[in-house]
Amino acid sequence: MERISWHQYFMAQSHLLSLRSTCTRLMVGATIVRDKRIIAGGYNGSISGGTHCSEEGCYLVDDHCVRTIHAEVNAILQCARFGVATNGAEIYVTHFPCLNCCKAIIQAGIKKLYYAADYKNHPFAEQLFDEAGVEVEQVELEEMILDTQNQEKLAFTAQLLERLEKSGASEQEMKEMRDKANDLYVKQM
């Protein structure tokens, strides 16, 4: 089996962290890395011991939830709490950071940002990252790498489609089945 890349390894960690989110609007995870070692992780949610959005709903002010601490800030605060330096580190985030998280990332001395999905990318955040010399790169998670049997599943599906076609399925049926297979396999990557 081929090993996954470092980018995929750390991005997968961020996606795993996002599953702990208590935000009902968007689940986000962040992983801070230095020298190919994870030094902190965070997800968006309420303060420790506080009421969660998943329990009582979001507390919205100007269409922003003021109850939630963003994943990037939670990861940076984890470093601060335990005395772990962030200067020169990298951060992997499931979504492009908001403007406030952008400023926190810059102030923490993080030099590289990798994010999986665009999300309301603010032009001023992009400008600030550029001015601060923070490298920004989109690295989407290739979900198929998390499935250790993906090649076998793809081959089996291809065999089934081939048998279906040979058994006399109509062109329309075949198109529908191929489209469904593409939705299940190709679009995940």
Asked if 19 and 27 touch (Cβ cutoff 8 Å), the reply is: yes
Name every residue whose Cβ is closer than 8 Å to that of residue 111 and which is 6 or more positions away in sequence.
88, 89, 90, 133, 134, 135
pTM of whole model > 0.85? Answer: no
Mean pLDDT by 10 residues, the chain (189 residues): 88 96 94 98 95 92 92 98 98 97 98 97 98 97 68 78 86 86 64
Cα-flanking dihedrals φ and ψ of residue 54, to 5°? -65, -15
Asked if 70 and 44 touch (Cβ cutoff 8 Å), the reply is: yes
- The confidence score (pLDDT) of residue 189 equals 39
Angstrom distance (rounded) from CA 150 to CA 179: 18
Asked if 101 and 129 touch (Cβ cutoff 8 Å), the reply is: no
- The confidence score (pLDDT) of residue 147 equals 59
- The confidence score (pLDDT) of residue 78 equals 97
- The confidence score (pLDDT) of residue 186 equals 60
| Angle at 122 (CA atoms; ends 75, 17), nearest 5 degrees | 25
Q: Select which of 2, 55, 72, 142 is catalytic.
A: 72
Name every residue whose Cβ is closer than 8 Å to that of residue 131 and which is 6 or more positions away in sequence.
none
**E-strand stretches of 5-125:** 29-34, 37-43, 60-61, 64-65, 90-95, 112-117
72 is a catalytic site residue: yes
Angstrom distance (rounded) from CA 20 to CA 83: 24
